[in-house]
Amino acid sequence: MSKGKLQKFAEFDAFENTLDFNTDTKGRWHEIFGNQNPIVLELACGKGDYTVGLAKRNSHINYVGIDIKGNRLWRGAKTAVEEGLNNVRFLRIQIDFIEKHFEKNEVSGIWITFPDPQPAKARKRLTSSRFLAHYRNICKADAQIHLKTDSDLFYESTKETIAEERLTLLENVENVYTQPCVPELKEIQTFYEKMWLAEGRTIKFLRFLLNRL
């Protein structure tokens, strides 16, 4: 492993806003944040661009950025420290085991930003029925999923899952940069999003209810 990566891992562990699979967090998130504000997750957050961007805009909401790669999370954690954001934490875990880290009804909403499209393994897509079932075990009944993606495959397969599970689609934006949508979708750009935009890809957005109400 490179020296830079090792140093980032050490710094990541030392930040006060970072946690990993060794930390006992399940059912303790309000205690960790020191308030009763809603808890919203960014899954596959990478450098945590949405975690930080949304936290700056919504000081009354707590955000947890989740990814398995500590060297990427390091960037978001450092920015949050530098900007004095108390409503941000970063958690280094496999999303597949999310129920080990959050209690039933502990989570109010989920953002998924530029997830790997997993062309050969539909079950591994973060909006597959398998993953939605994991999210139901930790989310409040009225939780919304926000998905931002460049991938036609991921976008179409998510719409199929929404239809198959008869979930309510609240918003469908085929091109975030040409269609009307909430400002934060245009204003907050992730690391991967900037790369895909430079290649001329179209950025899509879906917002849907996790449960049939």
Ligand X SMILES: C[S@@+](CC[C@H](N)C(=O)[O-])C[C@H]1O[C@@H](n2cnc3c(N)ncnc32)[C@H](O)[C@@H]1O
Nearer to ligand X, 1 or 213 (CB): 1
According to the binding rule CB under 6 A, does residue 59 interact with ligand X?
no
Phi, psi dihedral angles at 170 (to 5 degrees): -95, -30
Check 116, 142, 150, 152 and give the catalytic one.
116
Alpha helices in 36-118 (DSSP H): 49-57, 70-82
Q: Is 116 a catalytic residue?
A: yes
Per CB under 6 A, which region of 22-30, 65-73, 172-180, 197-205 contacts ligand X? 65-73
Residue (203 or 210) nearer to ligand X, CB: 203
Residue 113 CA to residue 126 CA, distance in Å, equals 10
Determine the interface stretch with ligand X among 29-37, 42-50, 55-63, 132-140 (rule: CB under 6 A): 42-50
Q: Report the Cα 165 to chain-centroid distance in Å.
A: 22
Taking Cα atoms as reference points, which of 98, 106, 102 lies closest to residue 126?
Answer: 98
Smallest distance, Å, CB 118 to ligand X?
8
Among residues 46 and 208, whose Cβ is nearest to ligand X? 46
Q: In this chain, which of 39, 64, 95, 145 binds ligand X, going by CB under 6 A?
A: 95
Q: Does 116 bind ligand X (CB under 6 A)?
A: yes
Asked if 149 interacts with ligand X (CB under 6 A), we say no
Binder to ligand X among 63, 135, 154, 192 (CB under 6 A)?
A: 192
Integer Cα distance of 153 and 81 in angstroms = 36
Reference 44, options 118, 142, 133, 144; nearest CA is 118
CA atoms within 13 A on the CB side of 127: 35
Q: Which of 44, 52, 110, 162 binds ligand X (CB under 6 A)?
A: 44
- Per CB under 6 A, 72 contacts ligand X: yes
Q: Site for ligand X (CB under 6 A): which residue of 45, 107, 139, 147?
A: 45
Structure tokens at 194: 């900037």
Least spacing, CB of residue 32 vs ligand X, in Å:
20
* Geometric angle at alpha carbon 168, from 117 and 154, rounded to 5°: 10
Distance CA 81, CA 15 (A): 8
Q: What is residue 11's three-state secondary structure? A: helix
Tell me which residues touch ligand X (CB under 6 A). 44-47, 67-69, 72, 94-96, 113-116, 190-193
Catalogue the active-site residues.
116
